[in-house]
Structure 1
């Protein structure tokens, strides 16, 4: 630990699903850099929720050749832990006030699981206050907000303007493919699509791999719009396997293949939302809001 990290009892945990490719990892490292730049005297720890991805980096930690070939990968990625592990390290080092910020898109299953862990730790009360794991833990909202809290959608609409501009310049409709799930938190996608269309007066459609709105819903809207060109992008923080395979892969069920088979001229852009500095700025504001809600002054 750096000596400067002990200047306060505050700490930040940045949570991501993770990525095994150094190129795909870049938006996560960019978010890490942005947080450290804004809060230079607060330690920031990384946590990956994927067991498989963490194991891959742990294997690489012992691979000297790999580490020499990738000098830009920070040491903490090779030793990355899950959320509970990262929090346990901070508790062991004496940090008492923690803000956890995920780079998740929606208030779905992964966010709810994270919230359950954070809330359980925050609920621990001991007879001797000094023995409590933490004094305070704050949890930042996902990009599309949590239930009843979507104030940042207007900022997200502004942040996505470069995508709309690129599609307009290409004479193509803009289609985002998100992950989604089958039973919760889908309304925010519909809301964002409406806001984007109202702001830019342009065909922008959001579809999900799981749940509604699905590919069929997007296809129906494209048919009504009458366009034959599509700019296709992932609505995910990183452009990982889903973006490269489910969105733009060669398989018969990829969105690229299905759209081309339907007669559309498609330009896939394998670039996650985290590569957009304006989107990362929204996560920074969500982090600050989370700190303020639990009266932590970072």
Structure 2
């Protein structure tokens, strides 16, 4: 509750800091905008995954402004330092300003509201409803809780949140259906592994503060969909690397296609998964006798996966004001 109250107070402070014209909310039709909230990445090459999703969202919503936001404080601080580094910017001239100057979802939403957008849809670009999504949902709930004496002065006519790729708890949208859809989006990965004659192993992020059993459940969905040796382990939480490898060994496969089960192929994929250090998954699997091939492409580069967020956003934008 403290997080929710702080979010609400901060938005009010941001709104009060910029003078508004009297009767501002009575001028013209309600303006709609979209915010794509990703964990983020500091890797310039990995940004392409997020931008691919943004392009697909823009194509599906012509005329509606789409803004990016990163939920990770650490990653945003890295980009903030680069804002004052002319040499870095020159060396990475292809990085768009919307990434270089990316903000937290709270600031992004507040900027849109100040510019007259009172119908805002926030789409999570997270994989499942874990810690990051829960914090994002608390933020949106906090902003939705702001009510003014006069209805015309409400900061938002509507503020909605789209669910992550693997769905979320509750009966509004059965998460099993979302997992089935996500499994079909990975057909290209499975075909790639089949052509190589290799087991398909995904590295997910996970976390140590939330149940991450959905990764194990999704592994079961993938195996049932494709009747193929597909395994998922996590950097944090369950199933860990040591939980995944006994199943991999039992499959009898000696070749492995190792891919990130993350929106971007950033630090975890480049180092924890495909790095040359002794504790990287590539090295540990190689030492156990596997012939490992790594593929550093995030889920965001898959158009089928990007389409999941497009559709979840469309679902959110059908919600009526006040709905969750």
Q: TM-score by structure 1 length?
A: 0.92
| 1:3 counterpart residue number | none
**Match among 99, 109, 117 for residue 87 of structure 1:** 109
User: Is the 1:230–1:264 contact (alpha carbons within 8 Å) kept by the matching residues of 2?
Assistant: yes
User: Is the 1:99–1:287 contact (alpha carbons within 8 Å) kept by the matching residues of 2?
Assistant: yes
**Match among 184, 193, 196 for residue 167 of structure 1:** 193
**Match among 281, 292, 295 for residue 266 of structure 1:** 292
| 2:309 counterpart residue number | 283
2:225 counterpart of 1:203: no
Check 1:189–1:66 CA distance in 2 against 1; reply closer, same or farther (3 A cut).
same
2:212 counterpart of 1:190: no
Deviates more, 1:84-93 or 1:143-152: 143-152
Partners of 1:66 and 1:215 lie apart in 2 by 36
**1:117 match: secondary structure:** helix
Q: 1:219 Cα deviation (Å)? A: 0.8
**2:45 match: secondary structure:** helix
Q: Deviations over 1:61-90 (max 9, x none)?
A: 344454444443222222211111001101
Unaligned runs of 5+ in 2: 1-27
Partners of 1:282 and 1:231 lie apart in 2 by 24
Check 1:59–1:212 CA distance in 2 against 1; reply closer, same or farther (3 A cut).
closer
Q: Deviations over 1:171-205 (max 9, x none)?
A: 11101010112243423212221111111111001
User: Is the 2:30–2:118 contact (alpha carbons within 8 Å) kept by the matching residues of 1?
Assistant: no
User: Is the 1:243–1:270 contact (alpha carbons within 8 Å) kept by the matching residues of 2?
Assistant: yes
Partners of 2:41 and 2:138 lie apart in 1 by 23
| 1:30 counterpart residue number | 52
- Count of residue correspondences: 291
Unaligned runs of 5+ in 1: 1-5
Partners of 1:18 and 1:60 lie apart in 2 by 15
Q: 1:59 Cα deviation (Å)? A: 3.3
Q: 1:229 Cα deviation (Å)? A: 1.0
User: Is the 1:99–1:290 contact (alpha carbons within 8 Å) kept by the matching residues of 2?
Assistant: yes
Partners of 2:315 and 2:266 lie apart in 1 by 28
Q: Deviations over 1:10-62 (max 9, x none)?
A: 11011112222321111111111111111121111111122232233333334
| 1:257 counterpart residue number | 283
Q: 1:118 Cα deviation (Å)? A: 0.3
Deviates more, 1:84-93 or 1:152-161: 152-161
